[in-house]
């Protein structure tokens, strides 16, 4: 039997295992042994939280319950608690679930500037449109700045969203200096008395140093026009991203001092577990999650719901 | 983190010095497994892979060979290469008929850009391509393809999204290609989730109507554990002919490449190495194996083992 055939068998089994809930794996009254821990770790790994975070959780369980009869609620509680501790961090990010703007640091006076960055195709532009919708719904006047002057029709894309939202947009011809678009966006917000300006940037891989320097320049220029800005520097991550998300978070933070994450495309089967690793290792909190391609498909991040979803079937 | 597998292999070698037993081989391979997981190789693929290497390594020949450690590293590398091959870069464009390529994949994976890259490459090889804007969904998707078409001097067929649908655009696109003497039609479809039944049906409908010569899945190389799920679903719906991995110009280790090949059996054809339209390269299994294994030069490792 070739490796491929073996794998197909193994995968069939995985499918079945994932169908059964974690609760089945840790049935009350059964003794917790190493094979069960390994099976559970596999579940953790498939969320993309990484080897290190999953080791921590499994180690918790091993210490507390190995060789003992399981009480489901206790085991489950331990797992959730560990994840909650990681995701909530020092409690500096507890926001009000009734106020969708509560994760955002707004300027005390003058316009709030939100810079949005990330690697290619993760969902930056769409997330900006969704965020603008949240803001306008709360009565804020929003200006968009089309800072992606590189990708084909990126300006047109953001312009179409601006039209749908009925909010103002600042654009420059394709190939213009993105920092100058950002500057002008801030400028427009100040002169028109807008509450928030959101700046789109071109997708870039974190290893392209010239492009990361360009992002750093955008960040600096914004601060020159509006002291203290950007008030939020959001890194958008694709929920399907694997361990490379760590490198993204680290290098984008170096260039643009990221204050929060937007986890887009969480409506697929990917669990977005990489944010657990990022929160654990870099402390950057998740602020919003994207759950679809439409304008209202943005939700406040909730550690509890997220932890529940990590173990749901999908 | 990026040194993961190289370190793991070095550890393995260390633990093999002196007495080589099945149990220390297993220990060592456990580290290799973790390193594969950190490169985003799917859990089951990594596990089966390591089990298999252990099986081979405890074979008589290896244990009794002069340099068993070296043999084991060799097995790890060679197995990876074997799993990702055989390589098939062919895209045949026939004379006298319209060759149809259909691109599909998740949102933002790089389909539209890759349509442009393929058109450019095949045009250079003598084909007369036409691009079809079958994404009527994403804002400015048609515009994007038009800009790309202009950059490479390839005509783009599109219709008013308000008055058309993706199947119709593709069917009419093929007619237009015939009329304009184009012999290669590349369909740019909208990004979709593999669990979106309605949109997956739409793809199947295009597939049934157009009978593309090749259905190509465009996949983001930074994808984690979920890569196998979506690729398997696209393959089930469309019987893929090839996969193209994009965004390999970054520092992703790209374990998804191994996983997707292993689980779907569909050959990897090309890799995207940048945003520019000339950044498409044929896939090489040995280079990919080195990349998954980490920065360290496997060849040197093999020599010093
Ligand atoms: N299913 C789903 N799709 C999304 C979500 N957010 C964005 N998308 C889709 O992902 C694709 C890429 O989104 P964009 O907003 O253009 O991504 P971007 O990061 O701006 O891309 P670049 O500017 O090219 O780097 C589009 O097809 C979006 O419709 C989400 O939350 N769920
Ligand atoms: N660095 C890099 N970027 C790439 C590569 N291929 C595509 N991109 C970028 O990835 C982003 C998304 O590419 P698109 O071609 O718009 O992706 P798509 O799959 O058509 O997206 P949707 O139509 O929204 O589903 C863009 O910013 C591209 O420039 C690549 O090989 N390397
Ligand atoms: Mg964009
Ligand atoms: Mg597209």
State whether the beta carbon of A178 lies less than 6 angstroms from ligand 1. no
Whether domain A112-310 has CATH 3.40.50.300: yes
Q: Looking at residues B12-18, what average pLDDT do you find?
A: 61
CA B188, B192, B194: angle at the middle one, nearest 5? 125
Whether the CB of A283 is below 8 Å from some CB of chain B: the reply is no
Asked if pLDDT for residue A161 goes beyond 90, the answer is yes
Q: Looking at residues B191-219, what average pLDDT do you find?
A: 97
State whether the beta carbon of A290 lies less than 6 angstroms from ligand 1. yes
Asked if pLDDT for residue B77 goes beyond 90, the answer is no
Asked if pLDDT for residue A16 goes beyond 70, the answer is no
Fold for A3-88, please state it: 1.20.120
Q: Helix or strand or coil: residue A37?
A: helix
CB atoms within 10 A of CB B239: 11
pLDDT confidence of residue A27:
76
For residue A271, the chain B residue with the least C-alpha distance is B226
In CATH terms, are A3-88 and A112-310 the same topology? no
Whether the CB of A48 is below 8 Å from some CB of chain B: the reply is yes
Query: How many Å apart are CA A30 and CA A40, to the nearest integer?
Result: 14
Binding-site annotation: residue ranges of A: 118-125, 200-204
State whether the beta carbon of A297 lies less than 6 angstroms from ligand 1. yes
The ipTM estimated for the assembled molecules is 0.94
Q: Looking at residues A168-180, what average pLDDT do you find?
A: 97
Q: Which residues contact A186 (CB under 8 A, 6 or more apart)?
A: A111, A113, A145, A197, A222, A225, A226, A229
Q: Looking at residues A26-39, what average pLDDT do you find?
A: 86
pLDDT confidence of residue B73:
74
CB atoms within 10 A of CB B146: 19
pLDDT confidence of residue A204:
98
Contact A143, A197 (CB under 8 A): yes
Percent of chain B's residues with pLDDT above 70: 86
Percent of chain A's residues with pLDDT above 70: 91
Chain A contacts of B52, Cβ < 8 Å?
3, 6
Positive/negative CA dihedral, B61, B65, B69, B74: negative
Q: Helix or strand or coil: residue B191?
A: coil
Contacts of residues A184-191 at CB distance under 8 Å and 24 or more positions apart, as own/partner, are A184/A145, A185/A143, A185/A144, A185/A145, A185/A147, A186/A111, A186/A113, A186/A145, A186/A222, A186/A225, A186/A226, A186/A229, A187/A225, A188/A143, A188/A145, A189/A111, A189/A113, A189/A143, A190/A110, A190/A111, A190/A225, A190/A226
pLDDT confidence of residue B94:
83
Which is more confident, A19 or A211? A211
The per-residue pLDDT of chain B, averaged, comes to: 89
State whether the beta carbon of A291 lies less than 6 angstroms from ligand 1. yes
Percent of chain B's residues with pLDDT above 90: 68
Taking an 8 Å cut-off on Cβ atoms, the answer to whether B222 and A241 are in contact is: yes
Nearest CB partner across the interface for A121, out of B139, B151, B220? B220
pLDDT band (50, 70, 90) for residue A28 = confident
Segment A218-232, tens digit of pLDDT? 999 999 999 999 999
pLDDT confidence of residue B56:
82
CB atoms within 10 A of CB A149: 20
Residue B275 in tokens: 């945003």
Q: Helix or strand or coil: residue A239?
A: coil
Q: Which residues contact B236 (CB under 8 A, 6 or more apart)?
A: none
Contact B100, B213 (CB under 8 A): yes
pLDDT band (50, 70, 90) for residue B2 = very low
Phi and psi at residue A14, in whole multiples of 5°?
Answer: -55, -45
Which is more confident, B32 or B191? B191
Residue holding tokens 């691109």?
B103
pLDDT confidence of residue B264:
95
Segment B138-197, tens digit of pLDDT? 999 999 999 999 999 999 999 999 999 999 999 999 999 999 999 999 999 999 999 999
Chain A contacts of B141, Cβ < 8 Å?
153
Residue nearest to atom 27 of ligand 2 (CA): A120
Asked if pLDDT for residue B105 goes beyond 80, the answer is yes
Task: Identify the CA nearest to A289 among candidates A95, A90, A131.
Answer: A131
Nearest CB partner across the interface for A45, out of B1, B140, B225? B225
Query: How many Å apart are CA B72 and CA B67, to the nearest integer?
Result: 9
pLDDT confidence of residue A71:
85
Catalogue the E-assigned strands of chain A: 112-117, 142-147, 168-170, 196-201, 232-238, 260-264, 286-290, 298-300
H or E element that contains B104: strand B99-104
Asked if pLDDT for residue A51 goes beyond 80, the answer is yes
Asked if pLDDT for residue A13 goes beyond 60, the answer is no
pLDDT band (50, 70, 90) for residue A15 = very low
Asked if pLDDT for residue A211 goes beyond 80, the answer is yes
User: Domain locations in chain A?
Assistant: 3-88, 112-310
Which is more confident, B152 or A72? B152
Phi and psi at residue B229, in whole multiples of 5°?
Answer: -65, -50
pLDDT band (50, 70, 90) for residue B95 = confident
Q: Which residues contact A223 (CB under 8 A, 6 or more apart)?
A: A229, A230
* B185 bridge partner residues: B100, B130
Query: How many Å apart are CA A226 and CA B147, to the nearest integer?
Result: 35
Whether the upstream peptide bond of residue B86 has omega within 30° of 0, thus cis, is: yes
Asked if pLDDT for residue B253 goes beyond 50, the answer is yes
H or E element that contains B131: strand B129-134
Which of A248-252, B10-14, B111-115 has the lowest average pLDDT? B10-14
Query: How many Å apart are CA B79 and CA B65, to the nearest integer?
Result: 19
**Which residues keep their CB under 5 angstroms from ion ligand 4?**
B 111-112
pLDDT band (50, 70, 90) for residue B16 = low
Q: Looking at residues B271-277, what average pLDDT do you find?
A: 98
């Amino acid at each position: 039997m070739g490796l491929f055939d073996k794998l197909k068998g193994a995968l069939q089994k995985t499918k079945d295992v994932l169908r059964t809930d974690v609760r089945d794996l840790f049935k009350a009254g059964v003794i917790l042994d190493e094979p069960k821990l390994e099976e559970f770790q596999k579940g953790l790994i498939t969320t993309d939280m990484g080897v290190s975070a999953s080791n921590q959780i499994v180690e918790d369980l091993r210490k507390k319950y190995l060789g003992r009869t399981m009480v489901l609620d206790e085991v489950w509680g331990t797992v959730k608690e560990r994840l909650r501790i990681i995701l909530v961090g020092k409690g500096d990010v507890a926001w009000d679930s009734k106020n969708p703007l509560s994760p955002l640091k707004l300027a005390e006076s003058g316009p709030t500037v939100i810079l949005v960055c990330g690697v290619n195709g993760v969902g930056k532009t769409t997330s900006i449109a969704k965020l603008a919708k949240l803001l306008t719904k709360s009565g804020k006047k929003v200006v968009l700045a089309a800072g992606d002057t590189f990708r084909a029709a990126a300006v047109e894309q953001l312009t179409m969203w601006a039209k749908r939202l009925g909010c103002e947009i600042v654009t420059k011809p394709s190939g213009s200096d993105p920092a100058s678009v950002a500057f002008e966006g801030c400028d427009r917000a100040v002169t028109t008395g807008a509450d928030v300006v959101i700046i789109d940037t071109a997708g870039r891989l974190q290893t392209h140093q010239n492009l990361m320097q360009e992002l750093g320049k955008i960040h600096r220029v914004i601060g020159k026009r509006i002291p203290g800005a950007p008030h939020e520097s959001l890194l958008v991550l694709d929920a399907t991203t694997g361990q490379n998300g760590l490198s993204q978070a680290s290098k984008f933070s170096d260039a643009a001092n990221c204050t929060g994450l937007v986890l887009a495309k969480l409506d697929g089967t990917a669990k977005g577990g990489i944010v657990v690793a990022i929160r654990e290792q870099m402390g950057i909190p998740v602020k919003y999650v994207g759950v679809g391609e439409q304008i209202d498909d943005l939700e406040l991040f909730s550690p509890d719901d997220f932890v529940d979803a990590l173990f749901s079937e999908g | 983190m990026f040194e993961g597998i190289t370190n793991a292999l070095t550890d393995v070698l260390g633990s093999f010095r002196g007495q080589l037993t099945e149990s220390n081989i297993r220990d060592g391979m456990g580290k290799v497994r973790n390193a594969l997981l950190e490169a985003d190789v799917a859990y089951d693929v990594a596990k089966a892979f390591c089990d298999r290497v252990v099986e081979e390594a405890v074979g008589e020949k290896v244990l009794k060979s002069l340099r068993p450690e070296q043999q084991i590293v060799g097995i790890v590398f060679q197995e990876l290469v074997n799993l990702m091959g055989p390589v098939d870069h062919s895209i045949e464009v026939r004379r006298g008929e319209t060759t149809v390529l259909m691109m599909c994949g998740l949102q933002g994976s790089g389909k539209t850009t890759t349509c442009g890259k393929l058109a450019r490459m095949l045009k250079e090889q003598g084909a007369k391509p036409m691009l079809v804007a079958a994404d009527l969904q994403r804002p400015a998707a048609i515009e994007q393809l038009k800009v790309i078409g202009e950059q490479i001097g390839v005509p783009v067929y599109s219709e008013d999204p308000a008055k058309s649908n993706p199947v119709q655009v593709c069917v009419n696109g093929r007619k237009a290609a015939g009329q304009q003497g184009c012999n290669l039609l590349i369909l740019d479809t909208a990004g979709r989730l593999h669990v979106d039944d309605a949109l997956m049906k739409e793809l199947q409908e295009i597939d049934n109507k157009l009978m593309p010569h090749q259905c190509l899945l465009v996949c983001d190389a930074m994808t984690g554990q979920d890569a196998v799920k979506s690729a398997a679903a696209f393959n089930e719906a469309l019987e893929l002919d090839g996969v193209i991995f994009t965004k390999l110009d970054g520092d992703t280790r790209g374990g998804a490449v191994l996983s997707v090949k292993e689980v779907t059996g569909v050959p990897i054809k090309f890799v995207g190495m940048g945003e520019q339209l000339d950044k498409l390269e044929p896939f090489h299994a040995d280079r990919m194996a080195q990349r998954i294994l980490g920065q360290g030069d496997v060849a040197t490792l093999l020599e010093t083992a």
